[in-house]
Amino acid sequence: MFGSLSSFDGSLFDEFRRMEREMDQLFGAGPWPSGIRSVARGSYPPINVGSTPEQVDVYLFTAGINPDSLNITIQQNLLTIDGERRLITEEGANYYRKERFDGAFHRVVTLPDDVNPDKVDASYSEGVLHITIQRREAAKPRQIKVN
């Protein structure tokens, strides 16, 4: 029953793979995700931002990135993180699906007006980059004593 499949022309499957790559290029460039588990372009690395009255915390999930290669700057309440993730791929291999991001990235986070750009700390542990930006003293809540 399936004996005829072994002699099936492989060039037909090659043509389907070519069409799939072209469709990925065509539709992958838009603002929408290109797969059911994909995320929109420009959303790597994933970021969590939170704040307290004392500071703003930014977490970037950057597994597989050398932390020394990251460029982190703060200017006019914009926190900018640039970097590149290089994945080792086997030369000549045909990949049917690549879901891990590789290449350069550029993320910008708008910070509140009351952050102090002179009090920034960055640490990297287990694939997570944690950036802490302190708030200005004048912006922190202070207790007022009634006489």
In this prediction, residues 94-108 reach a mean pLDDT of 81
pLDDT at 1 over 50: no
Report the C-alpha gap between 138 and 109 in whole angstroms. Answer: 23
**Structure confidence by residue, pLDDT tens digits, 60-70:** 998 888 888 89
pTM: 0.65
| Percentages of the chain per state (helix, strand, coil), in multiples of 5 | 20, 35, 45
Report the C-alpha gap between 73 and 60 in whole angstroms. Answer: 14
**Structure confidence by residue, pLDDT tens digits, 107-142:** 999 999 999 999 999 999 999 999 999 998 876 677
